Amino acid sequence: MFTDAHGRLYPAWGFLLSVLLCCAAFVACGYVAGAIAGDHVLQFELIFRSLLTTILFVGFSWLLAVGHHVESRRLAAQGLPIIQGSLREFAFGCGLGFALVVLAVCAVALLGHLSFRLTVTGQALVRSLAVLFVLLTGSLAEELMFRGYPFQRLVEAIGAGGAIAVFAVLFGLVHLLNPGATAWGLIDTVVIGIALSVAYLRTRALWLPWGFHFGWNATLGLACGLPVSGIRLFNTLIHTSASGPSWLTGGTYGLEASLPGASAVIVALIVLWRLPLRAIKFNEPAAGRPSAPIADEDVNASSHDSSNLGI
């Protein structure tokens, strides 16, 4: 009922178990971080996000070992193979996120008004380093949950198109818990979820979507001083106020609920869909044998049509 003829967990059961693991880890990490940090929000985020990332790695590694008989390279099996080009994919994602946020912010500045307040102190610099760590681990944790083991199992179970739809909607719904969330913010976040899923499927690794996710958030919050999905915690050095119609500024939720933000995400989706990227395939091992990631041939954008993603 739960395993196939080779004793491996069926993808649908792997997906359900991993979702339960994600929910339990999220609640447990929030409780532990709250008990330790109290009312110190940045300290809470440091503990919560780093602990959640660690538990997800351990939990998914356990599922791979017990449910799929993956005895080695479990990090690669989760979508993070340490191979030549991994850092380049991460850096490209960071650069793409940076460029698109800057373009969207420039549009807001041209059509509306931005006012900046700069704070450069020793304490602000230290807090900025802590924020960078929070953004780095936080984006990784979200990629592990929404493009890692659970997403990969659902792709196997129902196909890439269905998995993209399910996880993009879940990604958007989770962000409804953020301050100032709106219907437009939900729609924009769903489209961001689609773009990040496409980034994973084009490369079969998390380096590119993780880099884009981190680069987008770090540029928006730390470099531009604007809310990140309604959260102002990351504005340590620069605090920016945007004035203008809500379709332009996104209101208190920020750029991700605005027309410039939506336009930037659509551009990202087109770039990630059409750009020639290198796909990494992970060989499923035979029972009792180690596994290894194998670099596939370069995937040309001209030959990459909707059938490659199953949609």
d(CA 207, CA 250): 29
Alpha-carbon distance values, 154 to 2, 29, 157, 161, 260 (Å):
15, 25, 5, 10, 32
Cβ neighbour number for residue 257 with a 10 Å cutoff: 27
Cβ neighbour number for residue 177 with a 10 Å cutoff: 9
d(CA 120, CA 86): 34
According to the model, what pLDDT value does residue 304 have?
41
Asked if pLDDT for residue 287 goes beyond 90, the answer is no
d(CA 68, CA 172): 30
Alpha-carbon distance values, 211 to 87, 170, 222 (Å):
9, 20, 15
- Upper half-sphere CA count for residue 228 (Cβ side, 13 Å): 24
Asked if pLDDT for residue 128 goes beyond 60, the answer is yes
Confidence band of 310 (pLDDT split at 50, 70, 90): very low
d(CA 267, CA 100): 8
According to the model, what pLDDT value does residue 112 have?
93
279 or 34, greater pLDDT: 34
d(CA 201, CA 233): 32
pLDDT, tens digit, for every residue of 36-83?
A: 999 899 999 999 999 999 999 999 999 999 988 888 788 899 999 988
Here the tokens at position 168 are: 């993009």
- Cβ contact 251:182 at 8 Å: yes
Confidence band of 294 (pLDDT split at 50, 70, 90): very low
pLDDT, tens digit, for every residue of 97-125?
A: 999 999 999 999 999 999 999 988 889 99
How many degrees, rounded to 5, is the angle at CA 46 between CA 220 and CA 61?
A: 100
